[in-house]
Amino acid sequence: MSLWHKFIFKSKRNKVKQSAARDRQHQANNPAFIICSLVLIIFDLSLLDTVLGWISLLVACSVTIRIAIYFAYQKHMPTLRTLNLLALLSIIGLIYSAWPLGFLIGMVNLLVLACALKLMQVRSQRDFYQLVVSLLFLLGCGFIFQQSMAFTLLYSLLSLAVILALGFFHAPNLKVKQQLKQLTMLCLQALPIGLLLFLLLPQLPPLWQTPKAKSSETGLADKITPGDIARLSQSSELAFRATFEGNAPTQQNRYWRAIVMEDFDGRSWQIHPLRKQNRRFQQLVQQEFSPIVAGPSIDYDVIAEPTQQHWLYALDIAVPRTVKSQSEIWQSDEFQLISHQPLVSQYQYALRSYVQTMPRQPLSELDRKLNLSLPTQGNPLTQKWVSTLRQQYPHEQAFINVLLDYFKTENFSYTLRPKPMFVDPVDTFLFEQQAGFCSHYASALAYSLRLGGIPARIVAGYQGGELMAKARQQQYLSVYQYDAHAWVEAWLPDSGWTRLDPTTLVAPDRINFGLRQAMQEEGSFLADSPFALARLTNIALFNNLRLLLADMDYNWSRWVLGFDSQKQQDLFKAIVGKLTPQRLAMLGLAIVAVIGLLLTLFFMPHWYANRLNPVQALYQKALTLLGKNGQIRAHWQGPLDFSLHIQQHLPEAISQPFKRLTESYLQLNYQTQGQDKHKSVSHKKSINTMRRELRLLKNQLSKHQFL
């Protein structure tokens, strides 16, 4: 048979087979998969408290499998049947364990799970693409949970790594350095366009109600039980920041109202259920309380950290300042500000506070009833004590003074580590221990006032904050969790709602200089977190570092995270002046033009580089010139032959420059390449010679008019 000629082709067939084998091999050996594995595991670690434990375990498994395959410890991937079974079990597990966690967390867990399974399974190109898209989406979702600068940097790097993986997938044999160079270039080109889009594409309001994340709520608790162990005041996490248009109020006046608690059961204070019910009803019928406002006011913006809750922080008495804030914030009867959306991420709002209008507010019948209600039993000593006092001092103001005097004259002390008081906590606090922190004092006072027939309630919020003031910048205040505070509001016939803060009497430093000063002796300030930078303020370097970080973070929150439609409109105004439809249309066109220009700028050089090299191009030009004059180079004629042909047929004035041009061309194209150093110099020189000769040729031709 024709065995022999089959033999000839055998080697070539082998080659094809080899390439198919290499195909399979390059799949497993491709760094793209390792990069994706690393991205997934790092992302998983960054969200360890959101991602379920067993899913993290699965991620670790799949990454291990990938690494084993990459380094050829393991040759075979898990079979599809195994994976399908695993997927089925995981889905059941996920439904079971993530259902109570709510949509958002469930979705993130599902995505992580899908990525982990996909990573185990990646075989074809399609699988890989699906993995990449899921990873990018996952990284995007990561921004819901983490928005600090450090995490943004981390997630950006991870996104770039995914893009690098894509690059490796399409060019597996490109050197890492080259690959990085190519993709860095690409990303740098995309970045300005992306920023332009971000700054100038309209910022839309939320399109629909976002599912609430049921992650752990942070910040203030909506229930205060003074007898419990101190939990607050021990975190140096940021609660919110406020940027003031003018001067910030003084330390003593920075009472940030958040929650008003009117329901007391003898042990704990909480928001009155009636108020909650009322709120739900009023929000349903879109009714809103509006306080009577007049007098001096302060304008400021607040950037609240995510709490997963609804209440906002404000100085008394605040009203939303901008249309956007007005539409997003609801005002309650107790002067609370409540956001329609839970604070799942940083939230910025604009307020105006009328600082002196508190006394003008009326007391409704409901207010009176709620703020006078008393628990049926408990704290008998206090009850007796108050009733005696009240008989002695029938006038409200005198009664209050006596109560406050009691805190001043008795040996009360301020501590963050009070002993627990489980039975009759007010009695124990007032007459036995006489040591506690703000909520102990507030609770005891409010209860006593109510016993004395004066409407009173507890307001929980923050007091103080760290003022950052710079010459060029607006003043802003950073308020941390350890600034949390509770105080009393009592309604007096002459002066309306009046703020009473018994803590000032016991620990004036707490109000005047903040918690850090007040707790200097006890040493309990941030005792649980020994490495918090806030503890190290006495070391100048650390303090400067802390302030610098805080400042950077502030600007990040204000300008990047807080960039909204309002700021965008300001930006538009700054660019085009008045906002008319025509001008906006022009602006839109200008953006498109700018993007087009940028793209041209990026790729112009490449277009030229892809063309013929200059040597070829110059020679071709000369040929075209001669061709126009009837001297066409036949395809069998070499450059030397053609040059001779020209010398025979055309006058010397023309043939000489062409001869020299041809010589340079041959030299550049066919000479054996010498040392690199000399090469580039002589190369340039020869090209210049060619240019010169071409010009000469052109002149001579036009002179002789060979047509």
Catalytic residues: 438, 485, 501
C-alpha distance across the termini of the chain, in Å: 65
The piece of 155-163, 453-461, 522-530, 676-684 that touches another protein (CB under 8 A) is 155-163
DSSP 428: I
**In the range 291-350, which residues lie near another protein by CB under 8 A?**
344-345, 347
> Which pairs with CB-CB distance under 8 Å and at least 24 residues apart come from 103-106?
103/211, 104/144, 104/210, 104/211, 104/212, 104/213, 104/214, 104/344, 105/50, 105/213, 105/214, 105/215
Q: Does 136 bind another protein (CB under 8 A)?
A: yes
The piece of 15-23, 383-391, 414-422, 505-513 that touches another protein (CB under 8 A) is 15-23
Token reading at 139: 């990284």
Q: Does 23 bind another protein (CB under 8 A)?
A: yes
**In the range 545-564, which residues lie near another protein by CB under 8 A?**
560-564
Q: Does 285 bind another protein (CB under 8 A)?
A: no
Q: What is the rounded distance in angstroms from the CA atom of residue 482 to the CA atom of residue 404?
A: 25
Which of 171, 259, 191, 670 lies closest to 485 in space, CA to CA? 259
Q: What is the rounded distance in angstroms from the CA atom of residue 208 to the CA atom of residue 211?
A: 9
Q: Does 204 bind another protein (CB under 8 A)?
A: yes
Q: Does 469 bind another protein (CB under 8 A)?
A: no
Q: Does 123 bind another protein (CB under 8 A)?
A: no
- Nearer Cβ to another protein (347/412): 347
- Nearer Cβ to another protein (116/139): 139
SS3 217: coil
The piece of 150-158, 353-361, 402-410, 497-505 that touches another protein (CB under 8 A) is 150-158
Residues 6+ apart with CB under 8 A from 184: none
Q: 405, exposed or middle or buried, with CB in 10 Å at 0-12, 13-18, 19+?
A: exposed
Number of continuous H segments (helices) and E segments (strands) in the chain: 25, 17
Task: Find out whether 168 and 32 touch, Cβ atoms under 8 Å.
Answer: yes
Token reading at 342: 């839970």
State the minimum distance, in angstroms, from the CB of residue 526 to another protein: 29
Candidate list 46, 50, 109, 147; residue touching another protein; CB under 8 A:
147
- Nearer Cβ to another protein (4/531): 4
Residue whose structure tokens are 């049926």? 376
Candidate list 7, 49, 100, 207; residue touching another protein; CB under 8 A:
207
Task: Find out whether 458 and 486 touch, Cβ atoms under 8 Å.
Answer: yes
State the minimum distance, in angstroms, from the CB of residue 135 to another protein: 10
Q: What is the rounded distance in angstroms from the CA atom of residue 637 to the CA atom of residue 622?
A: 15
The piece of 163-171, 384-392, 395-403, 468-476 that touches another protein (CB under 8 A) is 163-171
Token reading at 693: 């000769």
Q: Does 92 bind another protein (CB under 8 A)?
A: no
Q: What is the rounded distance in angstroms from the CA atom of residue 491 to the CA atom of residue 358?
A: 10
Candidate list 7, 96, 531, 607; residue touching another protein; CB under 8 A:
607
The piece of 164-172, 241-249, 547-555, 624-632 that touches another protein (CB under 8 A) is 164-172
Task: Find out whether 687 and 615 touch, Cβ atoms under 8 Å.
Answer: yes
Q: Does 636 bind another protein (CB under 8 A)?
A: no
Q: What is the rounded distance in angstroms from the CA atom of residue 253 to the CA atom of residue 243?
A: 16
Q: Which amino acid is at 511?
A: I
Residues 6+ apart with CB under 8 A from 291: 317, 319, 331, 335, 354, 357, 361
Q: What are phi and psi of 445, to 5 degrees?
A: -70, -45
- Nearer Cβ to another protein (200/389): 200
Candidate list 14, 18, 124, 210; residue touching another protein; CB under 8 A:
210
User: How many chain residues are in contact with another protein, going by CB under 8 A?
Assistant: 73
The piece of 144-152, 361-369, 480-488, 527-535 that touches another protein (CB under 8 A) is 144-152
Radius of gyration of the chain (CA): 38
Candidate list 171, 545, 571, 601; residue touching another protein; CB under 8 A:
171
The piece of 1-9, 376-384, 569-577, 650-658 that touches another protein (CB under 8 A) is 1-9
Q: Does 7 bind another protein (CB under 8 A)?
A: no
Chain Cα centroid distance, residue 612: 48
- Nearer Cβ to another protein (586/599): 599
State the minimum distance, in angstroms, from the CB of residue 673 to another protein: 10
Kindly report the number of other CB atoms within 10 A of residue 203's CB atom: 14
The piece of 142-150, 276-284, 424-432, 569-577 that touches another protein (CB under 8 A) is 142-150
**In the range 173-202, which residues lie near another protein by CB under 8 A?**
173-175, 178, 182-183, 186-187, 189-195, 197-198, 201
Kindly report the number of other CB atoms within 10 A of residue 546's CB atom: 19
Q: Does 593 bind another protein (CB under 8 A)?
A: no
- Nearer Cβ to another protein (169/406): 169
State the minimum distance, in angstroms, from the CB of residue 586 to another protein: 21
Candidate list 216, 290, 610, 672; residue touching another protein; CB under 8 A:
610
State the minimum distance, in angstroms, from the CB of residue 160 to another protein: 10
Q: Does 73 bind another protein (CB under 8 A)?
A: no
Q: What is the rounded distance in angstroms from the CA atom of residue 258 to the CA atom of residue 182?
A: 52
State the minimum distance, in angstroms, from the CB of residue 591 to another protein: 12
- Nearer Cβ to another protein (202/530): 202
State the minimum distance, in angstroms, from the CB of residue 158 to another protein: 11
Q: What are phi and psi of 98, to 5 degrees?
A: -100, -5
Which of 639, 633, 678, 679 lies closest to 660 in space, CA to CA? 639
State the minimum distance, in angstroms, from the CB of residue 6 to another protein: 8
State the minimum distance, in angstroms, from the CB of residue 426 to another protein: 43
- Nearer Cβ to another protein (169/330): 169
- Nearer Cβ to another protein (153/398): 153
Q: Between β-strands 297-304 and 238-244, what pairing exists: parallel, antiparallel or unpaired?
A: antiparallel
Which of 595, 598, 474 lies closest to 199 in space, CA to CA? 595
